Amino acid sequence: MIEYLDLNIIWWHWLIIGFILLILEMNTGTFVILGLGLSAIIVGILDLVMPMTFMNQVLSWIVLSLLSLWAWKRWVKIEHVSNTGQSNYNLDTLGTVTSSIAPNSRGKVTFDTPILGNTTWTATSTHSIDIDSRIKIVEIHGQLIEVEKA
């Protein structure tokens, strides 16, 4: 079987496989198949320039594909914290009280940096906090932020 593939798989087969993988990539949009297709095209070009056995072609394709997947993973560096929703608030963010907060009641605070896209929030606290006091976040409860003195 390997002898048959050595004789019948030539450089343009790899180019066709590579272009088919690139077409599949255009339909998926994940950029994973892109590396596989480019690797197949490179193997086809290498086989044209310096003929290789089928096993060497396959090994070259595997190595190039793994390198492209490794490079893609390093380049993307997927972050597990989203930029939307309530999963990205920072408890170290400081702010200033603009409307005094009585224990277990609501007041207004303005943060130095936006929290979930907004700098002014309704806040609550277990302690009394006066106007112009510096505060930090304890916890976020939907549209209400629990704060304490910094």
Mean pLDDT (whole number) for 8-32: 90
Domain ranges of the chain: 2-75, 94-149
The predicted-structure confidence for 54-82, as pLDDT tens digits, reads as follows 999 999 999 999 999 999 888 877 665 44
Report the pLDDT averaged over residues 81-99: 66
Q: Quick one: pLDDT at residue 57?
A: 94
Q: What is the pLDDT of residue 139?
A: 82
Q: For residue 107, report the phi and psi dihedrals to the nearest 5 degrees.
A: -150, -175
Instruction: To the nearest 10°, report the CA torsion of 111, 116, 122, 126.
Output: -80
Which CATH code is given to the segment(s) 94-149?
A: 2.40.50.140
Q: What is the pTM of this model?
A: 0.52
